[in-house]
Amino acid sequence: MTVVSVRNLTVTAADRAIVSGASFDLAEGGITALVGESGSGKTTTALSLLGEKPPGAEVSGSIEVAGETVDPAHPPAAGTIGYIPQHPSAALNPVRRIGPVLREIARLHVRAGSRRERRELVRQRVLEALRQAQVPEELLHRYPHQLSGGQQQRVVLAHQLIGRPRVLVADEPTTGQDAVIRGQLVEEFRSVAARGIAVLLLTHDLDLVRALADHVLVMNRGEVVETGPCEEVLGAPRHPCTRRLIDAQPDPAATGRAAPEPGDPVVSVRGLVAGHRRVDTVHDVTVEVHRGETLAVVGRSGSGKSTLARCLAGLHPHRSGEIRLGDTPLPPLLRKRTPEQTARIQYVFQDARASFNEFAPVLDQVARTAERLRGAGRTEARRRAAGELARLGVTEASASRRPAELSGGELQRAALVRAALARPEVLICDEITSGLDTTTQADLLDVLEELQDDTGCALVVITHDLAVVAGRSDRVVIVDGGRIVERGRTAEVLAEPGHPVTKDLVTAAVRFTAGTRARPD
């Protein structure tokens, strides 16, 4: 049965159609995937189901959710549509612990019974949701900032799984998840759908689409250019856009770059220990990054990858050990580092949206790097920034808007440019491809390679996407529980994983793609 029916949806803002004439239905128990290039209007379409629109935008067309007409003046009843935002960190209240909020949500769905019974039911419901969303129970006492990016995302998922919405809209729900968890989440989404919930999945991950979706909608520049059953659309794409997306998918079987011989170490980390409050989350890590190489950092969600990266960037003071940049030891604190040192190691944040100042145009912010760290003049810096952004497909017009008016993928690219403008010797990229469609992702990786060739910059790529790892990195380190458990040349490690964790990750990824991807011949 159709739960959501959208007809001729058009959203215009600033004389430009963000979405134009989209029509589709969501059926009870069906999983529909909405795919398309970054900035094609996916999030905007999804949010219009909730009766939300960009400020100043005009919405036309009709939306019906569970028989009720929805428009910005009449949003659907709270709880009808579950929504998992693309950037989950902002959805978590910074001053509330995880557990109480989950219980609060659960209480909405537990009626009947005595107080004791209710309490027990609430507890069960919370535990159930935690299990489904793969959130360990010990995180209940934590504040959101005490979670890793992937954990935050799963907590938000748990919020939605507690309730019983008619429709679940999930905007990139697996971007921050490792292969193992992703596999488990696929099962959960299936069971959600099996409960009769209509699922709208917004994603770039075509493997995920193949694994889950019954139906696929492809968007391009605000228009739905192709729709149909999953196998049909992805198996025999008709629209060039769709074809491009499929073609650009990285090859998981790639065997790493033809790596140059390792240069001198730019950064060497020795015996690094770091942690939060009393617990250590990074233990005795020793690793070197060589000039011009690409080092992939892979590990389960919550294994300490971001913490390690932040230590390098000077954002998280380590407890002991040493980080050397060239021959000089680096002070642990950013404010003790010279601008020169700051410029030489740059970090691209996992959550791009949160890393922008919401009050200033993105372009201005991006350009500041060139001004501050490379001594460029104001106009020169802007020119450079605009150029780099354009290379990645973000127009100057978009970039001149405030962060809130850019799509997730656009911001991710802007964040990369912001760091790259410092012309760093080491560029740490924390999940920078996660929010990007395959085409843009490929472009971005090409641009990075160019940068590497031009400047001899070393890349540290933190990612869950083993395909990216396989195709683009020279060496890989596998992190687990804050320790490096395996390291080596990418091709070798992926081909013959030594550590159980690596094995798990690789098998999960392979199983995932093998089961879904019809290998192009």
> What residues make contact with ligand ATP under the rule CB under 6 A?
13-14, 18, 36, 38-44, 54, 86, 145-151, 176, 276-277, 279, 281, 299, 301-307, 350, 398, 405-410, 435
Identify the residue among 306, 434, 452, 502 touching Mg ion (CB under 5 A). Answer: 306
Work out what residue 410 binds among Mg ion, another protein, ligand ATP, none; the CB cut-off runs from 5 to 8 Å by kind.
ligand ATP
Q: Among residues 302 and 424, whose Cβ is nearest to ligand ATP?
A: 302
Angle between helices 98-109 and 149-162 (to 10 degrees): 20
Q: Could you give the string, one character per residue 39-58, with x where binding to another protein holds by CB under 8 A and - elsewhere?
A: ----x---x--x-xxxx---
On the CB side of 78, CA atoms within 13 Å amount to 3
- Cβ-proximal residues to 377 (8 Å cutoff; 6+ apart), any chain: 371
Among 87, 182, 204, 413, binds another protein (CB under 8 A): 87
Q: How many Å separate Cα 139 from the centre of its chain? A: 21
State which of positions 400-439 bind Mg ion (CB under 5 A): 407-408
Q: Which of residues 136-175 bind another protein (CB under 8 A)?
A: 143-146, 156, 159-160, 163, 171
Strand-strand pairing, 31-36 and 458-462: unpaired
| 14, interface contact from Mg ion, another protein, ligand ATP, none, CB < 5-8 Å by kind | ligand ATP
8 A C-beta contact, residue 20 and residue 223: yes
**Site map 445..474 versus Mg ion, x via CB under 5 A:** ------------------------------
Q: Which of another protein, Mg ion, ligand ATP, none binds 304 (CB below 5-8 Å, type-dependent)?
A: ligand ATP
Taking the complex as a whole, the smallest distance from the CB of residue 261 to ligand ATP amounts, in Å, to 30
- Provide the 3-class DSSP secondary structure of residue 11: strand
Q: Which stretch binds another protein (CB under 8 A): 295-303, 353-361, 451-459, 509-517?
A: 353-361
Tokens representing 342 are: 């700051």
DSSP 357: -
347 contacts another protein (rule: CB under 8 A): yes
The DSSP code for 137 is G
Q: Strand 2-13 relative to strand 167-171: parallel, antiparallel, unpaired?
A: unpaired
Shortest CB 39 distance to ligand ATP, Å = 3
Largest CA distance in the chain: 70
CB of 518 to another protein, least distance (A): 32
Please tell me the total number of residues recorded for the chain in this structure.
Answer: 521
**Cα of 276 vs its chain's centroid, Å:** 23
| Contact flag: residue 43 with Mg ion (CB under 5 A) | yes
Pick out residues in 305-324 that bind another protein (CB under 8 A): 313-315
User: Which residue's CB is nearer to ligand ATP, number 47 or number 491?
Assistant: 47
Supply φ then ψ for residue 232, to 5 degrees: -65, -50
Whole-number Å distance between alpha carbons of 264 and 291: 6
CB 347 within 8 A of CB 328: no
Cβ distance to Mg ion smaller for residue 407 or 439: 407
Binding at 189: pick from another protein, Mg ion, ligand ATP, none (beta carbon under 5-8 Å per type): none
Q: Which of ligand ATP, another protein, Mg ion, none binds 24 (CB below 5-8 Å, type-dependent)?
A: none
Q: Give yes or no for a contact between 393 and 357, defined as CB atoms under 8 angstroms apart.
A: no
Q: How far is the CB of 91 from another protein (least distance, A)?
A: 4
Footprint (CB under 8 A) of another protein, residues 272-291: 276-277
Contact predicate 165/134, CB 8 Å: no
Q: How far apart are CA 155 and CA 201, in angstroms?
A: 18
Residue 339 in the binding site for another protein (CB under 8 A): yes
Residues 479, 148: Cα–Cα separation, whole Å: 14
- Considering just the CA atoms, what is the radius of gyration of the chain in Å? 23
Describe the crossing of helices 500-516 and 179-194 by its angle, rounded to 10 degrees.
50
> In one letter, which amino acid is 54?
P
Four-residue CA torsion sign, 36, 42, 46, 48: negative
Q: Which 358-387 positions form the footprint of another protein (CB under 8 A)?
A: 358-360, 368-369, 372-373
| Alpha-carbon span 78 to 138, nearest angstrom | 29
419 belongs to the binding site for another protein (CB under 8 A): yes
* Stretch in the footprint of another protein (CB under 8 A) among 32-40, 104-112, 189-197, 390-398: 104-112
Closest CB to ligand ATP among residues 303, 452: 303
Residue 497, contacted partner among Mg ion, ligand ATP, another protein, none, CB below 5-8 A by kind: none
Residue 504 phi/psi, 5-degree rounding, is -55, -50
Please state the closest distance from residue 157 (CB atom) to ligand ATP, in A: 13
Give the one entry of Mg ion, another protein, ligand ATP, none that residue 416 binds, where binding means its C-beta sits below a cut-off of 5 to 8 angstroms depending on kind: none
Judged by CB under 5 A, the chain residues 83 through 102 that form the site for Mg ion are 86
